[in-house]
């Protein structure tokens, strides 16, 4: 009788262990599938975001202190030139945000020589023998934090200035929407900058750059519906 009871208990524990194992296995499969879904969603949203923004990128000749210092002087001179030549940002282009973004890119492409001249003037005045090369190109950016705003890794179109060998630390900001003009150090995105982003990006794009962790958690647990609407003043059209 005792052996029969022991045998039943053993089978019971085996069944329980098997059930737990199966549950853990299924949970792992579900978690893996959810993780892949979130990764795909983030990648898709980043690709959409990349079409909405135009970045500004300055690469220093090297990591030597003087090369890094002149990099920032070049940055300031070029931003000052862009402010003067572009005029008031609101008058750059009429129409939708996409048209304004394209107008910014066109301006950059047609002013590369002047941008180089502005950068080279700084280099000459500071006594550097190397020169600047300006280009509009699509290149890979790792995750870049802009205060409490995070632009995810991926391919972005950018106005890029390479100084000399361009082997040093780089500086970057967002030229469209016009965050460069609001804070040249680009250490943080202030409230005015967030408002500009909110008006230019879709709901999901804005959520991803301002609340990346919450964005991923929400999509992991709840998924969501596609949202292609622009945000204007916090209200979706």
- More confident position, 129 or 218: 129
Q: Is the pLDDT of residue 230 over 50?
A: no
How does pLDDT run across 131-148, given as a tens digit for each residue? 999 999 998 888 887 777
pLDDT tens, position by position, 69-81: 999 999 999 999 9
At 86-108, the pLDDT tens digits run: 765 445 545 566 677 888 899 99
Give the integer Cα–Cα distance in Å for 100 and 95.
7
pLDDT value of position 65: 96
Look at residue 176 in the predicted model and tell me its pLDDT. Answer: 86
pTM: 0.69
pLDDT > 70? residue 184: no
């Amino acid at each position: 009788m005792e052996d029969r009871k022991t045998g039943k208990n053993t089978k019971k524990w085996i069944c329980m262990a098997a059930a737990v194992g199966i549950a853990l296995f299924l949970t792992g499969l579900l978690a893996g599938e959810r993780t892949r879904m979130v990764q795909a969603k983030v990648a898709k949203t980043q690709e959409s975001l990349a079409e909405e923004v135009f970045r500004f990128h300055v690469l220093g000749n090297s990591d030597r202190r003087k090369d890094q210092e002149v990099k920032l002087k070049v940055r300031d001179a070029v931003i000052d030139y862009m402010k003067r030549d572009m005029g008031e940002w609101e008058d750059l282009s009429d129409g939708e945000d996409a048209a304004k973004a394209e107008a910014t890119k066109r301006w950059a492409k047609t002013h590369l020589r002047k941008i180089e001249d502005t950068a080279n003037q700084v280099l000459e005045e500071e006594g550097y023998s190397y020169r600047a090369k300006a280009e509009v190109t699509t290149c890979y950016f790792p995750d870049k934090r802009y205060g409490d705003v995070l632009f995810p890794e991926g391919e972005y179109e950018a106005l890029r200035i390479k100084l000399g060998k361009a082997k040093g630390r780089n500086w970057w900001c967002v030229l469209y929407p016009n965050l460069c003009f609001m804070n040249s150090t680009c250490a943080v995105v202030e409230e005015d900058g967030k408002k500009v982003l909110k008006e230019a990006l879709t709901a999901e794009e804005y959520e991803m750059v301002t609340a990346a962790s919450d964005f991923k958690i929400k999509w992991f647990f709840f998924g969501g519906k596609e949202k292609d609407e622009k945000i204007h003043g916090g209200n979706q059209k």
